[in-house]
Each structure stands twice: as C-alpha cells, then as structure tokens.
Amino acid sequence: MTQPFSKLTAIRGMNDSLPGASARWEQLEALVRDWLKAYGYRNMRTPVLEHTRLFTRGIGEVTDIVEKEMYSFTDSLNGESLTMRPEFTAGMVRAAIEHNLLYDRAQRVYNMGPVFRHERPQRGRYRQFHQIDVEALGMTGPDIDAEMIIMVARLWKLLGITDVRLEINSLGQAHERAAHREALIAHLEKHKDVLDEDGLRRMYSNPLRVLDTKNPAMQAMADSAPKLFDFLGDESRTHYEGVCARLDDAGVAYTLNTRMVRGLDYYNLTVFEWITDKLGAQATVCGGGRYDGLIELLGGKPAPAVGFAIGMERLIDLWGQFQPEQTPAECDVYIVHQGDEAQRRAAVLAENLRDTGISVIVHAGAASFKSQFKRADASQAAIAVILAGDELLAGVASVKMLRQSDQANESMQQQVPLNDLVAFLKDKV
C-alpha cells in the first residue's frame, strides 16, 4: 500500500517570497540598479556553486564562515569539493582573474543574488539570504574608498532611511598587522583565564578575531588589548586620513571604531560598517573595505580592490520602517467580458493595449459580472473595460474608473467606441 505523501515545506532558514512581498523586492532592485548606474557600475553574474578551495583560500580557513557556515559537498561525478557561495567577493575576483578583466583598465562591477550560510535562523539572519555586492577592482588610493562609502550614504537618502551610522577603521598593511599580532597574542596569553573556548582556539590562529567577541565576560580584556590602529605607519595613516577628509568634504559623519575587524581575512587598510539600532541584534546593514592582496592570493597579477555588501533582507526590513510598503497594482487595465465572442475580442484588445505599454489582465474563463468586478478591484487596476452584449454589437465598450480618487474629474463609467478605445485608454493610464 502506498504511504501518504507528507506535506513539504521550505528548508529552515530558506524563505519563500510571495507575489505581494516580491513586488517590494523588485522595487528595491530597480532602484539599486539606477543608483549603481549613476556611479558607473556594471552588472556581473557569477555561479552559485564554486570550488570549495576558492573560499578556504580567499576568505580564510579559520573564519567562522569557512569553519562553521559553508554548505559544501563532494561532487559525485568527479569527487571535487564544491560550495554554495557564502559571499560574493571571492567569486567576483575569481571571474575577474579567469577572464582577464583587469588587462587594460580598472572595473566597477556589482552583483545581486542569493548567498548561503548554515547559521541559526533569526530576524535578519537566514541560511539563504540575498546581497547587493559592489566591487571596484584595480583602483588604489583613498578616493575610491571614500566614494564607496559616500555612495552608500546616497542610497540611504534615496530610500528615506535616516537611522544609520557609519563606523570606520584601518587594518593597515601586512607588516603592521604582523607587529600588532605579536603584541595581541602576548596580551591574550596574559588573560587566558577570561578567554572562552572560541577565544582559546583562535588565540594563535586568528587572534584579531578574538577582539570581535560578543561574550560580555571578555569585553574588558578586549577593550584593553593593543589596538591595531596604534601600529599603523605613515603610509597607512595617510590613506586613512585621506578617506576621512573626503567624507568630511561630503558631509558624511563617521566614528572611528578601532575594534572593527570584519569577518573575513582578506581586508587591509579601510574597513567600514553602516549600523542601525532598528533591527535588533543584527545591527550591520552594510559592510566592506579594501582587500588589496586578494587578487594575487587567488592567482591573479597583483592589483588593488575595494568593495562592500548590503544584506537585502535587512535592508528591506529597515526600509519598511521608514517607507511603509504599498501593494502595487497587478495591472493598469482589467478586462471584464461576457460570452465567447466578447472573450475573444478581449484577448485581441489586450494585445493591442500591451503594444502601447499598458499592462492588462483579461479575466480568465467565464464568471458573473459581480465575480469579475470583485477580481478586478482586488487587482488594484485603475480601469475596468467591459465587453458584452448589445454594446459590443454596437461597436462600443464600457470603461469604468475603479480608483475614483485617481480620476476625480472623470465620469465613473462611460461608453467608448471600440475603434477609439486604445487611444482613449492610453491617455487615461
């Protein structure tokens, strides 16, 4: 006997976006594309699946992402280890190297889409989530670092978001981090008694990340630890001051946070985060910085780079607190009909209207006028066109304005000759 099929649901932490909510996503994506175009960024799309070694080398083997959060598996065909991308930057750099994008000029590129991390699902933190990823490849100097931060400030203005603050830091260069690392390890060794299991494990492999602890018992130790900023040489400080000067020029307020290290190993010099108190524990909406060594690390010719990523779920959540969501109309015109001939005429009319850029829904199947008008109203269409009976034989259609507030000076319903209908509706939509 066949066993009953159990109901299937989405995987925990991987969420459906239904038509009403997806409209908000589309609105945001369109706005983001225009915003990026204003700064000369072009779209680049990379695979969801990459070789695992891309991330272990690019992100760092002792990061939380690589150690705990990646979705990796062995390809049954060739035995290779593959990983669903946990972030965009490594894949974007891999593509730039593979296709020699930096051969003759620097590149401004962006990507949008899903990324995957095996985390405990909570508000603003999901196992499949979406990012806006923006990368400036082949550019050095504080000017492009500052431009990236300033362009994010413009995005907040476009979205009407005000309750965000900017924190910045400099991670210096490799030799400066090496000197700081020695001092930091010595500090951690003196405070072993307060280190938790994660801190003890990372004390020698990735001591900088110990300072990023959220453990209250370790905060005093972290606050008193040697600061990487104090180990910066003249060149790194000049770069940092150049970023700050340009932010000042643009009127973008910021705070130096010497504890900020970000969660990935590839950063150097400028790092930054945009933070809000509106999203509970998941305070960071946007984060990024400079990663001048990553291109060479992944096999390319040495080249500078800087970028940032924005979590789209968090951004939509935050945006909704400043700009309440409005349900968009499914179409401009909804065509109601009665009888087989009217239904066929409705299909032809709809195609003619779509030729002019008007969006149209023709009621599917046969139903009473009451039922069809109920569906037309639910669609949020501005106008209903009625094709039926004697009016159709007379060569006219009834046009009803469904949103009286939008058509205050129009008659609620009027007859329009079929030959004039397309032009009439084009003028009203």
87 is in an annotated binding site: yes
H/E run at residue 317: helix 312-322
Give CA torsion, residues 415, 420, 424, 427, to 10 deg: -170
**Cα(344)–Cα(359) distance, rounded to whole angstroms?**
18
Please report where in the chains the tokens 């008008």 appear, as a residue.
373
Residue 368's alpha-carbon distances to 363, 373, 375, in angstroms, are: 11, 9, 11
129 is in an annotated binding site: no
Structure tokens at 91: 């894949």
- Judge whether 383 and 400 are in contact, CB under 8 Å: yes
Look at residues 146, 136, 179, 168 and name the one whose alpha carbon lies nearest to residue 304.
136
Please report where in the chains the tokens 């099929």 appear, as a residue.
5
Q: Which amino acid is at 236?
A: S
266 is in an annotated binding site: yes
**Cα(346)–Cα(360) distance, rounded to whole angstroms?**
10
267 is in an annotated binding site: yes
**Cα(337)–Cα(376) distance, rounded to whole angstroms?**
12
Q: Is the dihedral of CA 185, 189, 190, 194 positive or negative?
A: positive
Give CA torsion, residues 258, 264, 270, 275, to 10 deg: -70
135 is in an annotated binding site: yes
117 is in an annotated binding site: yes
Residue 86's alpha-carbon distances to 15, 72, 73, 127, 156, in angstroms, are: 17, 10, 14, 9, 25
380 is in an annotated binding site: no
123 is in an annotated binding site: no
- Residue ranges at the known binding site for L-histidine: 87-89, 117, 131, 135, 262, 266-267
- Residue ranges at the known binding site: 87-89, 117, 131, 135, 262, 266-267
